[in-house]
Copies of this chain bind each other. A is one copy, B any other.
């Protein structure tokens, strides 16, 4: 069987299973989540063992310490994963929710939430994404096809084996979760073109992965995660607040998508703000890359090129630019941003409102850190990722992002 045939078979199995999953009651789906948690705990030893194989291979390949840490699952981490599964039980099931109305034709129309069907995920290293993604898709009555990274393949196989057992134990179709075991580039390419089988493809990973999906996918896609976020310090800003938010937004966790990459500073506050910013950022050894005017005020800053302003560093590096007006700040953001999260620090209400309405990103903040863009922080309980596209869902994606709607129409022989 060729790789294409293999993946097609897998997709077909998932499609058939999705039709059964769509009919599962909320109770049944919650029973499944609890069973998954119980089995994952029970299988801790074998999961850690499988993970050991991946870690050994990764070490042999000279993978970085950070990557090794992302790849590792310990009994404590498994416990954390299982707690997340149990708390997912508490979340409201969006399936079946809706509204009804009657038309002059006599037709009674209902619009109800239904599962998307088959969700495919292509993602990188972290094995907890395997459990998370499967759980969120199953809770919303979808089937899911997982295609994780090469580094985590043994761990992912062990996890999926356990989830399939949980499905089986609950009288559900084990094909509702499928893992593409080939981690060749080609397997991802084939998956992206499985029209008629896959209802949505969600890539979770770096820029390269997202770009490859956008360029090659023929199935519908939700783009996630690319975050070139900005902080704009207005001339009316409280400098202490601006410093505190800047440090938080850059340094609390530079590797995540809601961290800032560029700070724009109004010329009227630059002389007061920038030297202090340099001092604060110095404490975290952040590399500063500035425009010419910034470098006059911070002589130690390196030069920021045009490319810098397009870059999501995901690191202890920040670009800085002095702007003359709020309008210039907004234009800069709307040109260079990936449309994720942006913030203004200001005491001027008119400027705040203008920033909120003219900045074209999923989440726009006044006097707060961009680090809050997160399903948990927004109160959604769970998060599948953060959408940077405008279609279907924007910003943090809760359970309803994995659903669509359907019209049910009842008549008594009505013709038009």
Contact = CB atoms under 8 A, between A and B. Distances in A.
Contact of A413 (B101, B109, B199, B367): B367
Interface in A373-412: 373, 377-379, 389-392, 394-395, 404-412
A400 to B, nearest CB: 12
A19 B378 CA distance: 27
A122 B331 CA distance: 29
A368 interface: yes
Interface string A349-388: 0001000111011111111110111000111000000000
B414 A372 contact: yes
A91 interface: no
A285 interface: no
Given A107-B372, A378-B407, A360 B117 contact: yes
A249 to B, nearest CB: 8
A195 interface: yes
Interface stretch (A26-34, A54-62, A215-223, A317-325): A215-223
A64 interface: no
A249 B416 CA distance: 8
Interface stretch (A130-138, A240-248, A262-270, A286-294): A240-248
Contacts of A199: 390-391
Nearest to A116: B390
A105 interface: yes
A40 to B, nearest CB: 29
Contacts of A215: 218
A218 B252 CA distance: 35
Given A362-B406, A390-B220, A416 B214 contact: no
B390 A200 contact: yes
A415 to B, nearest CB: 4
Contacts of A407: 362-364, 373, 378, 394-395
Nearest 7 CB-CB pairings of A with B: A368-B411, A248-B415, A390-B404, A392-B392, A368-B414, A241-B413, A371-B416
